[in-house]
Structure formats: C-alpha cells, structure tokens
A and B are shown apart, each in its own frame.
Chain A
C-alpha cells in the first residue's frame, strides 16, 4: 500500500514567519501535486512537480520534488493569514489514481 506521510500534522505560526511542510513516502510516484483545502470546499491545486529534483516557485511558495521522486517539500516564506488551510500532497501513480498525504493543517495568526 502506498502511503504519503506529511509532517508536521499541525502548524500554528505568526504572520511573517517561514515554514516548511514535508511529504514523504517509500514509494516512487510519476508526479506529485500539492493542494490547499479550505473548510467545506474541495481541494484546489497549487502545483504539480514531475521531474526528480524539480523546484517550482509560486509567489511565496516554493515546492521541491525529491531526486528519487519519493518525497517533496513545500516552503512558505513570510506566511500570511490568507495561507491558513489544510495542505495536502498527492502522489500520482501509473494507474492515474491519486494517493493523498495525511495532511498538514496550517494556522497563521495576524
């Protein structure tokens, strides 16, 4: 069974702080996606990384895919209250199914 473990599970920080969320697995994925989900809504895609070692930046968010395509990280610089939400990584297997990570709940206080 493919599992994606995210850490930390919960993160509560002040506005302006930096943070990193990790997504780890023992399985190799063809690609990895990061989503953010707000309460009562479906997940919204932030980024897809495909190549091992790939780094993508989206404003204050930096995503990295591990060289072996088994892990990924999300770094947020100068967090803002609007970044609050549930962050989910999801690995795509060769069957087109998505395996979701365990989730990281982020709370940014003003």
Chain B
C-alpha cells in the first residue's frame, strides 16, 4: 500500500515561531491529502483537505491564515503553523486519500510543542 512520510516527527520551539510540517506520498500520486490534529487522549479532528494545485478546504473553526497549507506537487503537502502559541501544541497527522471506501494512509505524525 501507499507509504506516507511525515517530517519532522517532533518539534519544540518558542512561542511566535512559524513551523512547517511536510507530508510526502512516497509511492502514490496524491491529488488530495488530509491534515488532522489530535490533542492528548483525544481522537483525530480533521483540519483541512489539501488539494494539489488549488486552495485547501478548511473545516469549520480552523483558521486558514493560521494554518497555511500548500500542495504544490502530487507527492508533497505542507502545513505551516504561523506564529505558533502554546495552545497550538498538538499531534499533527497527515494522510493521503485512498479513494471511495478505500482506507487513507497515514503518516506517523508530528508532535509540536510550543514553549
């Protein structure tokens, strides 16, 4: 099956820093990727749908100017958390779309800690 690589796996930085997370589809051309956020001991919450060559679609309550998504190629989507604050600390996970009724393939996640 498709393999998804997410980088970095862990980031610790100061408040006010912008952080970029990369999600690469290693053996699958992904026109659509998904970005999720997971707080401790909670489930995954969809943040946005990343579309290759066009604007991302954000879920209700997710600030598009705060969480910038770029999907410039069929194998790479990036999520940039701008001016991160401690409340942005979370586990961010990306996935590639597997198609109707097909499973998504998930990256291993990025643990973001803002001090």
Contacts and interface: CB of A to CB of B under 8 A. Distances in A.
Interface of A: 30-31, 33, 40-45, 48, 50, 88, 92, 96-103, 105
Interface of B: 4, 6, 9, 32, 34, 36, 41-46, 49, 91, 93, 95, 97, 99-104, 106-109, 111
A50 B101 contact: yes
A96 B103 contact: no
Given A40-B111, A42-B108, A105-B41, 8 more contacts: A31-B101, A43-B106, A45-B103, A48-B102, A96-B99, A97-B49, A98-B46, A100-B46
A77 B103 CA distance: 25
B111 to A, nearest CB: 7
A65 B44 CA distance: 21
B34 to A, nearest CB: 7
Contacts, number: 55
Contacts of A40: 9, 91, 108-109, 111
A88 B44 contact: yes
Contacts of A92: 100-101
A100 B43 contact: yes
Contacts of A96: 32, 97, 99-100
Nearest to A45: B103
Given A30-B101, A33-B103, A48-B103, A100 B45 contact: yes
A45 B44 CA distance: 14
